[in-house]
Amino acid sequence: MSHSIAESRLTGRLEAVPATTSRPYWNPYIVGFLLGLVLLATYIVTGRGLGATGAFSSVAAAIAGWLSPEHAATNAVHAKYFNDGAPLASWTLFLLAGAFVGALASGIHGQRVRWTVERGPHVSDSRRLVLAFVGGFVAAYGAKIAKGCTSGQALTGGSILNVGSLVFMVSVFAAAYGLAYFVRKEWL
Amino acid sequence: MFPLSSSIEFTVGVSLALALLLGVGFGFCLERAGFGSARKLTAVFYLYDMAVVKVMFTAIVTAMVGLFALSAIGLLDLRELYLEPTNLAAQVLGGLVFGAGFIIGGYCPGTSIAAIATGRKDGLLFALGMLVGVYAYAELTPGIDAWIKATAQGEMTLPSVTGLSMGWFALAFVAFLLFAGWGMSRLEGRYGYLRPKG
């Protein structure tokens, strides 16, 4: 590795630096413990846990509001996030804004920030990007039906032993393990 | 005493500042764990890297033990914590659909933000799909929300359903985590050949 870096310095070709210059991720049990402390702190301060899907719902309500304030205030779903005309003053949206900063800091420190597409070797970038969009759409519907996602249901509800959250978590893994074989070309 | 929100009325500004601060910790943990990478996340479904389960389970157990310990010494009132009402049909159906979106898209809502922050174009597309998805849900099927509310079983936790203390469940989850940790390291050894090289 040090050899190829030296080589790339000699030739002056930045792209010759191998992707393996990223620092390794932390031990999952240690990160899990830290994430648990963040979740615990969130509970202690706010009385509610973490969440992520609500931020997307708030942005959707804001877009609906720009198009038509009356519609955003009367649509049964948008109205919950419209917040009297200030949908972007959303707790979850600010949480995710902070998460962006935290992830960026961690990524810079770990030398993992690069403009790239995450995919297996047997799928093209464009196909992977289409599947990412489709997956996001499907996941949004699932999160709306289940009233939460991996953050709001699995982590947050799981830690207070919420029955619905535990059922959600089992269902998520059941579906993903069941479908993994059929989409293996995207990842392996 | 805790949660603070039960004794202090936060202004909107303070509340949002706290969200930003806690979010930084949240995002830092997600990226540190490797969850800004769809390949790392989906690896759990091919059994060669179980980091997703290890991180999630450890986080859940840590928070659970912390909540139980704080309430046992009288610092925290568990009844003051928000509890999402259970609707078994909605959570099974939503969970299955969400799981499909996860394995197809490679992210979940929170981790897609960590992916965008570290330059993953697929994370950006996932987040756009999410946004279009929640928009479509509101416009096309707003009636689902009413159905969920009307058919919900209500607030249900394992302690409230079984009558057993949260402490027993916390203990059981810790024991299970230790056992599962051993099992997962065996799985990773067995399916290690699927791990991407380099």
Q: Residue A13: what pLDDT? A: 44
Distance separating alpha carbons of residues B67 and B49, to the nearest angstrom: 29
Q: Residue B198: what pLDDT? A: 59
**Residue A160 near residue B80, CB atoms below 8 Å:** no
Q: How much of chain B is helix, strand and coil, in % rounded to 5?
A: 75, 5, 25
ipTM of the shown complex: 0.97
pLDDT digits (tens, 9 = 90+) for A62-86: 999 999 999 999 999 999 999 999 9
Question: CA angle at residue A182 from A179 to A185, to 5 degrees?
Answer: 125
Q: Residue A46: what pLDDT? A: 96
Structure tokens given for B89: 């049909």
Q: Residue B1: what pLDDT? A: 85
Percent of chain A topping pLDDT 90: 88
Distance separating alpha carbons of residues B11 and A89, to the nearest angstrom: 12
- Does B56 reside within a domain? yes
- Does B121 reside within a domain? yes
Q: Is the pLDDT of residue A87 over 60?
A: yes
Question: How does the average pLDDT of chain A come out, rounded?
Answer: 91
Residue span of the structural domain in which B93 resides:
14-194
Cβ contact, residue pair B67, A98, below 8 Å: no
A-proximal residues of B, 58-97, CB under 8 Å: 58-64, 66-67, 70, 76, 78, 80-88, 90-97
Q: Residue A7: what pLDDT? A: 43
Q: Residue A21: what pLDDT? A: 82
pLDDT digits (tens, 9 = 90+) for B169-192: 999 999 999 999 999 999 999 999
Burial of B192 (0-12, 13-18, 19+ CB in 10 A): exposed
- Does B5 reside within a domain? no
Residue A61 binned pLDDT confidence (cut-offs 50, 70, 90): very high
- Does B99 reside within a domain? yes
For residues B103-129, average pLDDT: 98
A-proximal residues of B, 9-68, CB under 8 Å: 12, 15-34, 36-40, 42-43, 45-46, 50-51, 54-64, 66-67
Distance separating alpha carbons of residues A117 and B121, to the nearest angstrom: 5
**Residue B143 near residue A66, CB atoms below 8 Å:** no
Q: Is the pLDDT of residue A124 over 70?
A: yes
- Does B9 reside within a domain? no
- Does B2 reside within a domain? no
Structure tokens given for B112: 């897609």
Q: Residue B197: what pLDDT? A: 79
- Does B58 reside within a domain? yes
Q: Is the pLDDT of residue A3 over 70?
A: no
Q: Is the pLDDT of residue A2 over 50?
A: no
Cβ contact, residue pair B134, A39, below 8 Å: no
**Residue A122 near residue A185, CB atoms below 8 Å:** yes
Structure tokens given for A142: 């699932």
Q: Is the pLDDT of residue A92 over 70?
A: yes
Q: Is the pLDDT of residue B48 over 60?
A: yes
- Does B51 reside within a domain? yes
Per the structure, the count of domains in chain B is 1
Percent of chain B topping pLDDT 70: 99
Question: How does the average pLDDT of chain B come out, rounded?
Answer: 96
Q: Residue A20: what pLDDT? A: 57
Residue type for position B18: L
For residues B90-95, average pLDDT: 98
CA-CA-CA-CA dihedral for B166, B168, B172, B178, to nearest 10: 90
B129 interaction partners in chain A (CB closer than 8 Å): 132-140
Q: Which residues contact B178 (CB under 8 A, 6 or more apart)?
A: none
For residues A156-168, average pLDDT: 98
